[in-house]
Structure 1
């Protein structure tokens, strides 16, 4: 059966609260001033698919993961608490030990029915996500494999932080006595200064007038970038830009094609927002074990006319420049601005946000059944403004090529134009062969409840 025509049903048990396996501190912990900005106050869906392991026959993954979760919450007890909003919209965690809502289910479908290459968009994905705002559910499949789905409140952790917690659950499920990486709260490292002092330009939080395309009018597809696609794009660049990172080149390509497909006025400002993680590079990194949000949203701004009429190298240059501006002082200035401005949402009008999770290592999370067949965001376009964001997810396509898949959402007519723009842009030399981008259709609408 083709994945695009796949239909299945799921039988769910009533969810239950999983509490820490031992007593935990009763206290209130403040989130950082990076954590609690408006743009992170949403639930992000993550899904992990696991294949049958003959050595685990007779073992119930739901039971193993529930036990691992309970034991991991002793170390990560803030996840078992409840978020509270205080004065000036400041978020804190009331560490009550109430627990995490956990569900289990059975689906009448086999993992192989999802297609040769496991990657979003997944058919009937809503059937596998937690109900009642989760945040965690294990769904057993007919083949002996299973899916683990999670709804993460983004104010609590970023992608590396979530993977760190999931690894701890896996280690506990496999019988280890403690997490390999002890968790560190440490949110004070991203608190605003006293007094706050904005020392950098943060155009990502500018107030811009305009309208947002209703999400109900959008369709969901994904784009695969493998070695051949990336080589074709590099060939379009001048020699001094051809060794720029995959992130910069793919982001430039997507931004240019997406803008052309949406057809804004040539004089309209358009924005590409890049997630830049402070865990490496030129930053002083947070301590090992830190699982809070540790990134900035630098933005490149130009007009639609300049972006679409210039060669691809124009966009690559813009993206490279804004990336280079983000350092320790930028992060301090960002926290100060967020406090002074009341924790605003980043600019969403004529914006496109991209987040590279290829190094988060979702696929390495092991609950006892080995590495995931697929691990990462469940869909593209999630967040408070659905359709705004896309993730770069590591995959292997049906031909066995390693690359990244990028889910995205656009209005139906614009999506057709986007596919044509992508195909044209990847028809670059050198020969032999011209390789177009593979664009996959979503067989089901994506929920706007997030």
Structure 2
């Protein structure tokens, strides 16, 4: 039984199963980069996605997604392996092809009953992303855990847990994008993965080649234990920012005149699809939820998590972007003339 404020619902889960790649994959040992070795990345990262029911779509989402995961693992086969620790705590993925964990579930709740609870921190995550016993370690554990929960309204929830050493935000988006394409019937992903982590590994030191350290890599220093976590979650603040038509228009007004007319609604906020640059909300591209606010306006809710003082400054800067002053509005109109 899970509860979200006054909301209570039941989730019935099938036993977890391993989903291997749909075809044979290479058996090899792939070392991670020196950046991936740092202690601050050795944790499991949860993600949760909510989907409405689409008319005319009666396929079982759990069955479709499970098949798409197996197909995607043929191309992303390191994710079907297990992490090992080599000399000097060096991380490497053993491409065993064992597979990733998959949980199929059903719930008696409807999507519209969650209401504002769709924004983080999500109080029912443990029910919609079950911590399979023995799966939460970093070494010798599945690198991905999926749970697909069918809802009473015909929608579903797909929750994912991934080891952060294996992928950053952009990598996770690329992997999930490939799974989505294959679930929609594509024969293969549009973007193929590339493993080039050797480019971020320092050359070995031996008698013939001595490379003196040129930088102090503070990211490898010992870190203070914050209640068993690297990130001090007790000091973190979660907020969701609503961005609708008025906010988009306000953000668009900050763009140069040459870009203002041609920019899509997506680009003023996120600075374009994965092409670099800084949008109004840097670092959170692709992580948003389609919602309606209290006045019924359609838009997106962008979840953000950061330390309290940083959040206060972020709120202040967001206010400047989305609620321009009269002087800003006058300058915008003057530039358009």
TM-score, structure 1 normalization = 0.53
2:147 is matched with which residue? 137
Q: How many residues are treated as equivalent by the alignment?
A: 279
Corresponding residue to 2:182 among 161, 165, 172: 172
Q: Is the 8 A contact 1:225 1:405 kept in 2?
A: no
State how far apart, in whole Å, the 2-side matches of 1:5 and 1:409 are.
28
Choose the corresponding residue for 1:430, options 321, 325, 329.
325
Partner of 2:208: none
1:87 aligns with 2:87: yes
Deviation at 1:52, TM superposition (A): 0.2
Aligned partners of 1:130 and 1:151 also within 8 Å: no
Does 2:27 match 1:21? no
Specify the SS of the correspondent of 2:167: coil
* TM-fit CA distance, 1:110: 0.6
Is the partner of 1:67 in helix, strand or coil?
helix
Aligned equivalent of 1:406, options 304, 310, 321:
304
Q: Separation in 2 of the partners of 1:430 and 1:36?
A: 46
Q: Which runs of 5+ in 2 are unaligned?
A: 136-143, 206-210, 255-268, 328-337
Partners in 2 of 1:158 and 1:419 — Cα distance?
Answer: 26
Q: Relative to 1, partners in 2 of residues 1:430 and 1:106: Cα closer, same or farther, differing over 3 Å? A: same
Superposition CA RMSD, Å: 4.0
CA distance in 2, matches of 1:207, 1:230: 46
Distance 1:93 1:104 in 2: 27
Cα offsets for 1:157-191 (capped at 9, x unmatched): 11111122222222222232222112211211211
User: Is the 2:242–2:299 Cα contact (8 Å) retained in structure 1?
Assistant: no
Any conservation in 2 of the 1:229–1:426 contact (CA below 8 Å)? no
1:141 positional shift: 0.5
Structure 1 gaps, min length 5: 236-249, 251-278, 283-319, 321-353, 362-375, 377-392, 433-450
2:23 counterpart SS class: coil
- Conserved in 2, the CA contact under 8 Å of 1:121 and 1:220? no
From the superposition, tell whether residues 12 and 200 of structure 1 become closer, same or farther in structure 2 (CA, over 3 Å). Answer: same
- What SS does the aligned partner of 2:193 have? coil
**How do residues 35-434 of structure 1 correspond to structure 2 at under 5 angstroms?**
35-57=36-58, 59-115=59-115, 118-132=118-132, 133=135, 135-195=145-205, 196-200=211-215, 202=217, 212=226, 221-224=238-241, 226=243, 281=276, 356-358=283-285, 361=286, 376=287, 393=288, 398=293, 399-402=297-300, 404-408=302-306, 430=325
Report the alpha carbon displacement of residue 81 of structure 1 after superposing the two structures with TM.
0.8
Q: Does structure 2 conserve the Cα–Cα contact (< 8 Å) formed by 1:18 and 1:102?
A: yes
The answer on whether the counterparts of 1:117 and 1:396 sit within 8 Å (CA) in structure 2 is: no
Q: Residues 280-333 of structure 1, C-alpha deviation per residue, up to 9 Å, x if partnerless?
A: 659xxxxxxxxxxxxxxxxxxxxxxxxxxxxxxxxxxxxx9xxxxxxxxxxxxx
Preserved CA contact (<8 Å) 2:84 2:93: yes
TM-score, structure 2 normalization: 0.69
Distance 1:108 1:218, change over 3 A: farther
Give 1:404 shift.
3.2
User: Equivalents in 2 of 1:11, 1:122: separation in Å?
Assistant: 19
**Following TM superposition, by how much is the alpha carbon of 1:103 offset from its aligned partner in structure 2, in angstroms?**
0.6
